[in-house]
Amino acid sequence: MNDSSYYVPSAAMVIVLLLKGRAVLRAWRDPLLRSVYALLLLSVLVFLFAAPPTISWVNRVTGVPNISAPLVYCLLSAFSASCLVLIINWRGGPPESTRRASRRWIAGYAVVIVATAALFALGDAPEQRLRDFDTHYANTPYIREMIVLYLVALTVANIAMNMMCWPWALQVHGWLRVGLLVIVAGFFCNIAFAAAKMTAVIARWNGENLDYLSTYVAPAMAAAAEVVTAAGFCIPLAFQRVGDVWSTWSTYRRLSPLWRELAPLSDHGDRAVRIAWWSPAELQVTQRESDIHDGMLSLYPYFDPTVRTRAYEAAVTAGSPPEVARAEADAAMVTAALRARAADPEGRVINEATATENDASTAAAEGPRDLVAMSHALRKSPVVAAVREGTVAFQ
């Protein structure tokens, strides 16, 4: 990796952080959301402070040669802990058990961070090394132990993550499974990073030189691991949101047949607030449902419970399940009411107040799923088609 390559994944994570920032502020008490944000923030810091230009700058500003090494190791340990805490909270379980497990991992890696700082302070690393610190000081007392400590801590976290994610991935489906499998792949890259580093260090202990594993191979594996792991955590959350939006727009589209029939009956001109075409999908669906209910309100005087009852019986006889037959009966009653209203241009039924509210009004008061079923029946049901064409009379 060249110097600028370290900043590319860091910049990508900053964009994700900015996109997620508002959601975190709105729900800061949610431990899962906090864990996601902490993981992304630590990903940014790891790549930022592991970049050779940043290493040189930190060493120069602090006046301590190689102070960047323990700083990066501590960030990696904190990142490992944040991944474990995120998976624990994501997987769920009894709240007390989840909190206890999270605290144990946090405490364990806090000890690793303190020990890393202490070992660096006890050691002697006077010559600045921007790329090959691990192998250059592989035989230096205390610095050697510090290097081994962070590599072991990283490996333990990676193995623990895979042990938690793999069985869980086999139990779930959809985007959650995809995300977990991507996380497993990311942590295998992290294991490869630690293995490459450790192999190069052990080679130095034995008087051999495999520094290229630590200097070139390991950073590439670390970059892949960080990006893939972060993507694995984001995939289920992102695609769940996409799926929710798709489902909402699908509901909006499926309401179209019923809305087109009833929208002319609702008074759109008197709306206090007009919904723009770029408004959120949820707001568009709400407005469409409101239009449908307004239209049905104007049809109440023309609703005939006999039509609904006989249409239901006809739908059941034709083989429709009860819930589908109910939607067909409601749609048939709406269709008959539309015909009756069209045949009463002077509004005599309304003016004479001969109609009474009946059970049909409940069809308009039910939730969006019932309206969607009615809309589908309005377009597809042969019972509704017969009422519309006047070939069968249910009155």
pLDDT (0 to 100) of residue 358? 45
Predicted confidence band at 291 (pLDDT cuts at 50, 70, 90)?
Answer: confident
Residues 66-93, buried b or exposed e (16+ Cβ, 10 A)? bbbbbbbbbbbbbbbbbbbbbbbbbeee
Give the span between the Cα atoms of 317 and 325, in whole angstroms.
Answer: 9
pLDDT (0 to 100) of residue 197? 94
Per-residue pLDDT reduced to its tens digit, 318-332 = 888 888 888 888 888
For residue 250, pLDDT beyond 90: no
Phi, psi of 138 (to 5 degrees): -65, -25
pLDDT (0 to 100) of residue 149? 95
Q: Which residue ranges make up each domain of the chain? A: 3-245, 256-389
Q: Residue 289, Cα to own-chain centre: how many angstroms?
A: 27
pLDDT (0 to 100) of residue 151? 93
Per-residue pLDDT reduced to its tens digit, 11-48 = 767 776 676 666 556 656 666 677 777 777 888 888 88
Give the span between the Cα atoms of 12 and 225, in whole angstroms.
Answer: 14
The one-letter amino acid code at 12 reads A
Give the span between the Cα atoms of 211 and 214, in whole angstroms.
Answer: 5
Q: Which CATH class is domain 3-245?
A: mainly alpha
pLDDT (0 to 100) of residue 394? 59
Per-residue pLDDT reduced to its tens digit, 193-247 = 999 999 999 999 999 999 999 988 988 888 788 778 878 877 877 776 677 777 8
pLDDT (0 to 100) of residue 2? 58
For residue 345, pLDDT beyond 70: no
| pTM exceeds 0.75 | no
Per-residue pLDDT reduced to its tens digit, 142-193 = 999 999 999 999 999 999 999 998 988 888 888 888 888 998 998 899 899 9
Q: Residue 5, Cα to own-chain centre: how many angstroms?
A: 28
Pairwise pLDDT comparison (54 vs 262), residue with the higher score: 54
For residue 269, pLDDT beyond 90: no
Per-residue pLDDT reduced to its tens digit, 85-127 = 888 888 878 888 888 999 999 999 999 999 999 999 999 999 9
Q: Residue 325 contacts by C-beta under 8 Å, 6 or more apart in sequence? A: 312, 315, 316
pLDDT (0 to 100) of residue 353? 44
Per-residue pLDDT reduced to its tens digit, 363-385 = 444 443 478 888 888 888 888 88
Nearest Cα to 9, choosing from 34, 46, 38, 35?
46
| DSSP character at residue 213 | I
Pairwise pLDDT comparison (263 vs 176), residue with the higher score: 176
For residue 352, pLDDT beyond 60: no
